[in-house]
Amino acid sequence: MARLKITGLHKYYGKFHAVRGIDLDIPEGEFTVLVGPSGCGKSTLLRTIAGLEEADEGTIEIDGEVVNDMRPRDRDVAMVFQNYALYPYMTVYENIAFGLRARKTPKERIGPLVEQAAAMLDISALLGRYPRELSGGQRQRVAIGRAVVRDARLFLFDEPLSNLDAQLRDEMRSEIKRLHQELGKTMIYVTHDQIEAMTLADRIVLLRDGRIEQQGAPIDLFERPATRFVAGFLGSPAMNFVPAEIVGDGGDLALDFGDGRRLALPEQRRAAYAARAGTRITLGVRPEHMERDRGGSPRPGLDRLRVTIDLVQPTGSRTYGTFKLGETEMVAELQVHDVEKPGEKLDLLFDMNRVVLIDPASDKVI
Amino acid sequence: MSGPLSASEAGLGFRIGLFADRRFKYLVIAPAVFILLFIGLFPLIYSLIVSFQNITMMEEDTSFSGLMQYRLLFQDLRLWQSLGHTLLITAIALPIELLLGLLMALLFVDRLPGRSVFVSLLVLPTMIAPIVAGATWRLLFDNRYGPINQVLGWFAGEPMTVLWVIKANLVYPAILLAEIWQWTPFMFLILLAALSNVDKNLTEAAEIDGASTWRIFWRIVMPAIWPVMAIALLIRGLDLFRLFDVVWALTKGGPGTMTETISIYTYIQGFRQFETSYTAAIAFLVIVMLSVVVIFALRRMEIAR
Amino acid sequence: MSGAGAARGAARRRRRERQRLAARYAAAILITVVFLFPIYWLFMISFKTPEEIFHSPPVWYPANIQFDNYAVLFRDGDVITVWNSLFVATISTILAMGLGTLCAYSLARFKTGGDNLAVWIISQRMIPPIAIVFPVFLLYVWLGWVDTYYGLILLYTAFNLPYVIWMMRGYIEDIPVELEESALVDGCTRWQVLTRVVFPMARSGLFATAVFTFVFAWNDFIFALIMTRSEVTTYPVQVTHYFGAQSNFWAKIAAMSALGTLPIFIAVAFLQRYLVRGISLGAVKG
């Protein structure tokens, strides 16, 4: 188990500034997910921690030890690659034992260690096979087994599930979570998939253009995003963003969408936004923040709008309806029979307690 | 240990980190580069130096003679003739090799059972030693005991004793025949691979669109294999400067100096006439000329790749 | 009605295709026979008696295959030139492969020396022997290395290095980097990565390149002609010794050439898959 501390890390590829000043402090045993769009620097950051890339500026400390100048083999980290990196000319057993052999572990100890790792990952039956005989999921287990067997202090995962189909991905995700619970090691996991991030992480570090956009527990980032980028990145389907103006209505505050429709802000939020009356903002509404009005008195904080559904997309367990608010197309998550055909009109309730307001100039959540 | 490195020290950020790898990568490349300098740089410098001197069979005059050797070089008719011979052979052999190779490749490109056997057999002429190829054709061309004259005799209706490797107007056909025989399989092999790699989707789409076979070939197939053809032509084109073994076995450059290639002429100057400085001048020019051509061509290809 | 017509049309098409295949086959066989005829002739001469060799019109197939001509080579000791060729070619191939592959690794993974070094190395392969052999010969005279085994081996090694480097660089680049990176993280030193990952992965490329390098050294004439005299004669040079001013020792020419060609047959049989890539300098990955 290890504590990882990164201070002021910068990395350049020629002129390209891939990592722009990252500070990270990860306590022992935590599962940290580095997530972000392509090119955000998450893989570079991971590889720099592993020692496969050199940092240009800043320090990397593992358990208080500065490892910048250490070779990968001396850092006591284990890594699982996206393409599994299994040696095709070795059996599963030999693949897993590889690291132990390279470090001159005594022969008698290699066998039991390999078998233990294989049992943990449910691949004991495959030890004598070659990688080409295995399925994608099995190969991934072997790759993880190779990391597990070394009992390293830090585990690094570089998009390990990207090459698997959706069903396998779900399965392996649970495996990795279970593994973390069993081993309790400090793990750093890179992915571009926000579902993996949400389900696996103790802490999410959302990266963008080489910088940390926000970090924290998954639910924190989801419910209290700091910027528009974070708000739009997490959640599927993505959050809707629609421009609006804050208008003061004699003690009440509402959002005006330009087409004559308005949504009122709930009482407890008015104080925070009163100063911004008359300014334009961007409203962020998640599809699940809207529901069909079934009659009865609405709960406090909810406001109603009449909308025309243009597009209906049923998924079986729920239905997504697209409508227009102002000039913007929005997607609402509805129950299966709320709407049947395009063109229907609906009364939609918006949960104004949970929507976010964003300053269009800075893209920060206010 | 001292702190992290600045951007300039880290270099271009290669995929595998540097660290003590810096020592490793130089250590590992050093012996090979050292030996290569032996055949790459040393002859160049040495030739340059000696070419400015005046060492011949008679005297070891190592005084600086300026550009004398080079002036002689430009005036040496026999040298330019040998260059002309080399170019003549190249100019005739290459297109024929290319055409024949292409036709053969087209024949083999579609599914054909046992194709790999055919290919293995057909590649043999290219793989045997050029001197052996030359010797073989020498035997084939023999005026009395060679089968070529025999076969000609069948067509002519009477015995033929054609002096292939002796008569002036026949030596070039003889040399060309041997050269083409040896190197057409090279073209064939490369073009076969190139044709096999042509995207079937393109040709099928054209077929559906109604294009004729001829049109498909010219507009789709040829442009697709042109890069490979260019490389093959470059390799063979440069190789023809090495033309020595086959000609040596057939005619030794004769009759007289009629079939001397530039390699043969240089060899004679250096190792029969012992015109050391003169040979050095030729060697230097050849190295420089070819290096420029090759580096230029390689850069263009690397950029395209 | 239309069904039957379609069936007849299909049958006609199949017959046409079979005819086409047969025609192609015939052409293929014809071409192969034509191209192999000279080699056939060479071997036939080596099996003929002197009467059969010097028979006009020429005999296309000897009455009996007899190995006397080969026996002569053994008896006269000329066959030692084949041994010389084997020795020199093998050692120089091993050296070239060893040094060249290491160099290729440095070029492939570290881009050492950048584009310039790589281009310079490759261009060395294009220099014709005649341009470099002369100064090297003078150096050898000065060092006393003419007509020695190590002299010729060094020259072959040096001359084949660019080819080895060029080809192995390509084969190494085909190996996924993750395999090496994983090994580094797992605890391998750079040398261990080479021996435990790179060499096993590049096994077939190593083999193919080695065979090609061997063939180049085996077939060389001009370097052997210039750098050797009587001690280290290789078989190509020996063949030319049989060309006399008055008459040629046909039987010996054929037998010695045939001996020199045998390893080529073996090499081609082994190289099947790598032929195209090997002779096109990796340009075509057929």
Mean pLDDT for C119-139 is: 84
Structural domain count of chain C: 2
Region B124-128 average pLDDT: 93
Same domain for C58 and C76, yes or no, is no
B10, B16, B19: residue with CB nearest A56: B10
Contacts with B14 from chain C: Cβ below 8 Å: 109-111
Give 3-state DSSP helix, strand, coil % of chain A, rounded to 5: 30, 35, 35
Q: Are residues C147 and C267 in the same domain?
A: yes
Inform me whether the pLDDT recorded for B22 exceeds 80: no
Write down which chains contact chain A via at least 3 CB pairs under 8 A: B, C
Judged by a CB distance cut-off of 8 A, whether residue C248 touches chain A is no
Q: Is residue C286 situated within a structural domain?
A: no
C150 and C248, same domain (yes or no): yes
Tell me: do A272 and A136 sit in the same domain: no
pLDDT at B19: 55
Instruction: Please check whether residue C237 lies inside any domain of the structure.
Output: yes
Mean pLDDT, each 10-residue run in order, chain A (366 residues): 90 91 94 93 93 91 90 90 89 92 87 92 92 91 92 93 89 92 94 92 94 94 93 91 84 83 85 84 92 82 88 91 90 88 89 90 88
Q: Are A366 and A276 in contact (CB under 8 A)?
A: yes
pLDDT at B304: 47
A59–B3 C-beta distance less than 8 A: yes
| C275 found inside a domain | yes
Task: Of B122, B124, B104, B128, give the one whose Cα is nearest residue B194.
Answer: B104
pLDDT digits (tens, 9 = 90+) for B167-201: 878 889 999 999 999 999 999 999 998 888 888 88
Number of structural domains chain A divides into: 2
Residue A343 in 3-state DSSP? coil
Residue C178 within a domain = yes
Whether C284 is covered by a domain: the verdict is no
Position C160 pLDDT exceeds 90: yes
| Of C17, C42, C66, the domain-final residue | C66
Inter-residue contact A206 to A215 (CB < 8 Å): yes
Q: Compute the average pLDDT of residues C43-59.
A: 83
Of A63, A68, A6, A65, nearest in space to A34 by CA: A6
- Asked whether C130 and B244 are in contact (CB, 8 A), the reply is yes
Claim to verify: residue A22 and residue A159 sit in the same structural domain? yes
**The domain boundary residue, chosen from A233, A256, A276:** A233
Do A208 and A274 fall into the same domain? Answer: no
Does residue B14 surpass a pLDDT of 70?
Answer: no
Identify whether residues C24 and C101 lie together within a single domain: no
Over residues C236-257, mean pLDDT: 84
Which tens digits make up the pLDDT trace of A191-245? 999 889 999 999 999 999 999 999 999 999 999 999 999 999 998 899 999 999 9
C86 and C149 in a single domain? The answer is: yes
Q: CB–CB of B244/B261 below 8 Å? A: yes
- What value does the CA radius of gyration of chain B take, rounded to a whole number of Å? 26
Those residues whose C-beta lies under 8 Å from the C-beta of residue C208, and which sit 6 or more positions away, are C167, C271, C273, C274, C277, C278
- Cβ atoms of residues A211 and A34 within 8 Å: no
Amino acid occupying residue C272? Q
Q: Minimum mean pLDDT among A89-93, B74-78, B206-210, B256-260: which range? A: B206-210
Which band of pLDDT confidence, cut at 50, 70 and 90, is reported for residue B10? very low
B74 touches chain A (CB under 8 A): no
How long, in residues, is chain B? 305
Supply the pLDDT for residue C120. 86
Which among C199, C225, C218 is positioned nearest to C262, based on CA atoms? C218
Query: DSSP 3-state assignment of A361?
Result: coil
Which residue is closest to C24 within chain B, CA to CA? B107
pLDDT at C286: 61
- CA A306/CA A293 separation, integer angstroms: 10
Number of Cα atoms under 13 Å in the Cβ half of residue B194: 28
- Predicted confidence (pLDDT) per residue in C62-108, tens digit: 878 888 888 888 888 888 999 999 999 999 999 999 999 999 999 99
Tell how far CA C181 is from the center of its chain: 35
Would residue C149 count as lying in a domain?
yes
Q: Cα A16–A22–A25 angle (5° rounding)?
A: 155
Residue B18 has a CB neighbour count (10 Å cut-off) of 18
| Claim to verify: residue A222 and residue A245 sit in the same structural domain | no
Domain closes at, from A233, A268, A283: A233
Lowest mean pLDDT among A204-213, B142-151, B153-162, C153-162: B153-162
* Interface residue A59 vs chain B (CB under 8 A): yes
A312 in Cβ contact with A251 (< 8 Å): no
Bridge partners (DSSP) listed for residue A264: A254
Closest to B261 (Cα-Cα) out of B81, B88, B82: B82
Asked if residue C127 belongs to a domain, the reply is: yes
| Of C6 and A145, more confident | A145
Q: Report the pLDDT value the prediction gives residue C195, as an integer from 0 to 100.
A: 93
Backbone φ, ψ for residue A57 (5° rounding): -145, 155
What is the predicted pLDDT for the residue at B202? 83
Average pLDDT, chain C: 88
Residues A218 and A257 in one domain: no
C 97-116 residues inside an 8 A Cβ radius of B? 99-100, 102-103, 105-107, 109-113, 115
The last residue of a domain, from among C42, C66, C90: C66
For residues A264 and C48, give the distance between their C-alpha atoms in angstroms, rounded to a whole number.
Answer: 109
Q: Kindly report which listed range (A187-201, B270-284, B290-304) carries the lowest average pLDDT score.
A: B290-304
Domains of chain B by residue range = 68-274
Is the per-residue pLDDT at B3 higher than 60?
no
> Torsion over CA of A61, A64, A70 and A75, rounded to 10 degrees?
-90
First to last CA, chain A: 38
Tell me: pLDDT of C54 over 50: yes
Query: What CATH number does the domain containing A148 carry?
Result: 3.40.50.300
What's residue B57's pLDDT? 67
Indicate if A317 and A213 belong to the same structural domain.
no
Structural contact between residues C153 and C172, judged by C-beta atoms closer than 8 angstroms: no
Judged by a CB distance cut-off of 8 A, whether residue C204 touches chain A is no
Residues of A in contact with B2 (CB under 8 A): 69
Domain boundary (C66, C86, C103) is at C66
Task: Answer yes or no: do A61 and A140 share one domain.
Answer: yes
φ, ψ of residue B251 in degrees (nearest 5): -130, -5
Residues forming a β-bridge with A348: A292, A305
Residues sharing a CB contact under 8 Å with residue A103, sequence separation 6 or more, in sequence order: A73, A150, C186, C187
Same domain, C59 and C85: no
Q: Mind spelling out the 3-state secondary structure of chain B?
A: CCCCCCHHHHCCCCCCCCCCHHHHHHHHHHHHHHHHHHHHHHHHHHHHHHHCCEECCCCEECCCCCCHHHHHHHHCHHHHHHHHHHHHHHHHHHHHHHHHHHHHHHHHHCCCCCHHHHHHHHCHHHHCCHHHHHHHHHHHCCCCCCHHHHHHHHHHCCCCCCCCCCCHHHHHHHHHHHHHHHHHHHHHHHHHHHHHCCCHHHHHHHHHHCCCHHHHHHHHHHHHHHHHHHHHHHHHHHHHHHCCHHHHHHCCCCCCCCCCCHHHHHHHHHHCCCCHHHHHHHHHHHHHHHHHHHHHHHHHHHHHC
Based on C-alpha coordinates, what's the Rg of chain A? 25
Q: Which residues of A touch C (CB under 8 A)?
A: 50-52, 71-73, 77-79, 81-83, 85, 87-89, 98-99, 102-103, 146, 150
Among C31, C110, C129, select the one facing B25 at the smallest CB separation.
C110
Same domain, A83 and A194: yes
Question: Do C148 and C41 belong together in one domain?
Answer: no
Token readout for C192 is 């261990």
pLDDT of A327 reads 86
Residues A186 and A325 both lie in one domain: no
Instruction: Assess whether C213 and C252 both reside in one domain.
Output: yes
| Domain shared by A110 and A183, yes or no | yes
For A270, the domain range is 240-365
Q: Is C93 found in the same domain as C173?
A: yes
Q: Are strands A186-191 and A31-35 parallel, antiparallel or unpaired?
A: parallel
CATH for B68-274? 1.10.3720.10
Q: Measure in Å the smallest separation between the Cα of C198 and chain A Cα atoms.
A: 10
Does residue C84 lie within any of the structural domains? yes
- CA torsion, points A332, A338, A340, A341, in degrees to nearest 10? -50
Q: Are A90 and A126 in contact (CB under 8 A)?
A: no
Structure tokens, A289: 């923040």
What count of other Cβ atoms lies within 10 Å of the Cβ of residue C222? Answer: 22
| A208 and A275 co-located in one domain | no
- Nearest by CB: C187 against A73, A83, A88: A73
Whole-number Å distance between alpha carbons of A303 and C250: 107
Handedness of CA A307, A308, A313, A316 (dihedral sign): positive
| Beta pairing class for A77-80 and A154-158 | parallel
- Host domain of residue C109: 71-279
Dmax of chain A from CA atoms?
Answer: 82
- Full-model pTM: 0.83
CATH number of the domain that A287 lies in? 2.40.50.140
**pLDDT score recorded for residue A249:** 64
Give the one of B10, B12, B19 whose C-beta lies nearest to A69's C-beta: B19
Report the CATH number at residue C82. Answer: 1.10.3720.10
The label of the residue with tokens 């996991």 reads: A189
> Interface partners of C (3+ CB pairs, < 8 Å)?
A, B
Q: Which amino acid is at B244?
A: F
Both A161 and A255 in one domain: the answer is no
Percent of residues, chain C, with pLDDT higher than 70: 96
Q: Which pLDDT score, from 0 to 100, does residue A1 have?
A: 66
